[in-house]
Amino acid sequence: MNSKNDILFARAQASTPGGVNSPVRAFRSVGGTPRFITRAEGPHFWDADGKRYIDYIGSWGPAIVGHAHPDVIRAVQEAATHGLSFGAPTEAEILMAEEICRLLPSVEQVRLVSSGTEAAMSALRLARGATRRDKIVKFEGCYHGHADSLLVKAGSGLLTFGNPTSAGVPEDFARHTLVLDYNEPQQLEEVFRTMGDQIACVIVEPVAGNMNLVRATPEFLQTMRRVCSEHGAVLIFDEVMSGFRVGLGCAQGLYGITPDLTVLGKVIGGGMPVAAFGGRKDLMQHLAPLGPVYQAGTLSGNPVAVAAGMATMKLVQQPGFYENLGAQTNKLAEGLTAAAREAGVPFCADAVGGMFGLYFADSIPASYKAMMATDKDRFNRFFHAMLDLGVYLAPSAFEAGFVSAAHSDAVIAETVSAARQAFTRL
Ligand SMILES: *Cc1c(COP(=O)(O)O)cnc(C)c1O
């Protein structure tokens, strides 16, 4: 118990369930003591013992321009001097809405909220209210936040804990959620053939990042678009993670598919609580105060949070931003793969934009089932070896990783060199 992290974790557990405010931070999946972070800058953060890590979670995605970017910090400081929250509209909210609508052609109108959970929950209610249908379709391994209807065999933290559903979700709610396999277009055809007139919406991560990284096949998303249109169901792309992470046009831009509604979060807040849902104007007009679908938020569009988001959104639009981010992420994936090959460890990696997946398997998994078959124990040993060597990966075999614009060649090289050592320790 010499480590300040141990001392803080013991204290935290006395006042907070499990010592953390979000489950995956607790290291339950990998074992050991979570690191308590004191500060962050660029690609690094420091724990309570003063140890420095190269950070590959980036606050689970938002830190795309690197931690504590001067432009973002300045924007927050300036906004804060004008007051923290008004409960009345501001021009900054218009600018953010206009920016999102300009960058995403599928989004004609948008509403700002404070978390991805809230945005996904609201998009579902809107889809149900607009179609007057109750059933929703989701896919095993996708995570859309912790609203009741969505905690039905949900992924990520839940997967890690081996709980297929959460206690406290009434079976009557779960009954309306159909859970299909990711990347299985025939299942979509089948379910729409049998009950298409009852389905309000399909919600999907178009690049899945909550069961580790899994790319959707184009056929899967195209089939989804077609059956939703044929049966009057709303197609919701949950781009909370992939949005402005895989490219400026988000996953919908990469695949060339137009969803009816899009859910955003993480990057658009630049590290502050901003999320959003938006899409077709005729759908969005069902929302209060115009329509009968209720949705509200005391801190929605908070001026300080929006300032951080807008400063981040400005930086990602600099010429070459995503080309550079993608190149660095690919260098990391290729470097780790080569290091594993040298050590004779079955391993592969994948990258889309600034997101990556690491798999202790012979080939890149394309399904939830294949992901579950990867070597979790080996991942856990690798995780701890890397942590020792000053590289902080996601503390679970079933989470994606994130690279920022501050991850320079030197930082990637340092990571790959640590991995060479870590792979030989497995
Ligand atoms: C993180 C995430 C959410 C939830 O967002 P919170 O801000 O944590 O509530 C929803 N959907 C996806 C795809 C996510 O990655």
pLDDT tens-digit map of 333-372 = 999 999 999 999 999 999 999 999 999 999 999 999 999 9
Residue 176, C-beta contacts closer than 8 angstroms, at least 6 positions apart: 134, 135, 136, 149
pLDDT higher than 90, residue 110:
yes
Write down the residue that tokens 């053939």 correspond to: 193
β-partners of residue 47 are 37
pLDDT band at 2 (very low <50, low <70, confident <90, very high): confident
Cα separation, 333 vs 25, in Å, equals: 24
- Beta carbon of 242 within 6 Å of any ligand 1 atom: no
Give yes or no: 266 in active site.
Answer: yes
Neighbouring C-beta atoms of residue 86, cutoff 10 Å: 11
- Residue 210 alpha carbon, nearest atom of ligand 1: 15
Decide if 221 contacts 204 (C-beta within 8 A).
yes
138 shares its domain with 286: yes
Q: What is the pLDDT of residue 172?
A: 82
303 shares its domain with 367: no
Say which DSSP state 48 is in: T
Q: What is the pLDDT of residue 1?
A: 57
Where would I find the beta strands (DSSP E) of 89-232?
A: 109-113, 135-139, 177-180, 199-204, 207-208, 214-215
- Ligand 1 centroid – CA 144 distance (Å): 6
**Which of 315, 348, 380 is where one domain is finished?**
315
53 shares its domain with 80: no
Distances (CA, A) of 238 to 241, 264, 266, 276, 282: 8, 7, 12, 10, 19
**Which of 289, 315, 341 is where one domain is finished?**
315
247 shares its domain with 181: yes
pLDDT higher than 70, residue 156:
no
131 shares its domain with 34: no
Cα separation, 322 vs 315, in Å, equals: 11
pLDDT higher than 50, residue 163:
no
Distances (CA, A) of 352 to 134, 214, 220, 328: 34, 10, 17, 11
pLDDT tens-digit map of 211-242 = 999 999 999 999 999 999 999 999 999 999 99
Q: What is the pLDDT of residue 153?
A: 72
**Which of 315, 339, 369 is where one domain is finished?**
315
Q: What is the pLDDT of residue 152?
A: 87
- Ligand 1 centroid – CA 148 distance (Å): 14
Indicate which residue of 266, 322, 359, 368 is catalytic: 266
Assessment of whether the complete model's pTM goes beyond 0.75: yes
What are the residue ranges of helices labelled H in 270-408?
Answer: 281-284, 303-316, 321-343, 368-372, 376-388
pLDDT tens-digit map of 174-197 = 888 999 999 999 999 999 999 999
How are beta strands 44-47 and 355-359 bridged, if at all?
unpaired
pLDDT higher than 70, residue 159:
no
79 shares its domain with 43: no
- Name the residue range of residue 27's domain: 4-64+319-425
Q: Choose among 36, 37, 31: nearest CA to 12.
A: 36
Which residue has the CA at smallest separation from atom 11 of ligand 1? 144
Give yes or no: 331 in active site.
Answer: no
Which residue has the CA at smallest separation from atom 8 of ligand 1? 116
- Beta carbon of 47 within 6 Å of any ligand 1 atom: no
Minimum mean pLDDT range among 115-129, 130-144, 154-168, 283-297: 154-168
323 shares its domain with 307: no
Range 197-213 average pLDDT: 97
267 shares its domain with 307: yes
- Ligand 1 centroid – CA 265 distance (Å): 7
How are beta strands 355-359 and 401-402 bridged, if at all?
antiparallel
CATH number of 303's domain: 3.40.640.10
State the total domains in the chain. Answer: 2
Give yes or no: 153 in active site.
Answer: no
Cα separation, 246 vs 150, in Å, equals: 24
246 shares its domain with 105: yes
- Beta carbon of 240 within 6 Å of any ligand 1 atom: yes
49 shares its domain with 83: no
pLDDT band at 173 (very low <50, low <70, confident <90, very high): confident
Pocket test for ligand 1, best of 20, 112, 210, 214 (most atoms within 8 A of CB): 210
Indicate which residue of 143, 255, 322, 368 is catalytic: 143
CATH number of 404's domain: 3.90.1150.10
Is residue 249 packed enough to be buried (19+ CB in 10 Å), middle (13-18) or exposed (0-12)?
middle
Q: What is the pLDDT of residue 93?
A: 98
229 shares its domain with 372: no
75 shares its domain with 144: yes
Range 27-45 average pLDDT: 97
